[in-house]
Structure 1
Amino acid sequence: MELTTNVGSFDRILRIVIGAALIILTLTGTIGIWGWIGVILLGTAFLRFCPLYRIIGVNTCKNS
């Protein structure tokens, strides 16, 4: 499977901010284990590829 970029700039920034916030909240004990979903958000932001977007046919990247 080819990792075609499908996460745009605004989407990427949002994923980084929300992902980091979830991880911090989990590490401080504010929220439970579900906060580790932030790792997935950070991963998809840095790869600029979201497998779920590919499945449902979404592309927020202007260049693709």
Structure 2
Amino acid sequence: MKKNMGDKDRMYRAIAGVLILLWGVSNANALGLIGFVVLATAYFRFCPVYIPMDIDTTR
């Protein structure tokens, strides 16, 4: 996996992932799993959705 996510994008995703995950846990909602996916993309610095759209925020 080639990294396609820059520092700002990674920071925003990490914050959003934590907030979504906490919201899902506090409301006992399965949508909190989306927060886990967002955190995983921030951790690996790779977003598979960026590939078809030819987006690379590392520039």
With normalisation by structure 2, the TM-score equals 0.90
Q: Percent identity?
A: 31
Task: Report the TM-score when normalising by structure 1.
Answer: 0.83
List 4+ stretches of structure 1 deviating above 6 A. Answer: none
Structure 1 match to 2:37:
40
- Whole-angstrom CA distance in 2 between matches of 1:6 and 1:60: 6
Point out where structure 2 has 5 or more consecutive residues left out of the alignment: none
- Residues 3-57 of structure 1 deviation map (CA, whole Å, 9 limit, x = unaligned): 111010000000000000000011111x732232111111110100100001211
Q: Which residue of 1 aligns with 2:5?
A: 7
Backbone CA RMSD of aligned residues? 1.3
Whole-angstrom CA distance in 2 between matches of 1:11 and 1:52: 14
* Number of equivalent positions: 59
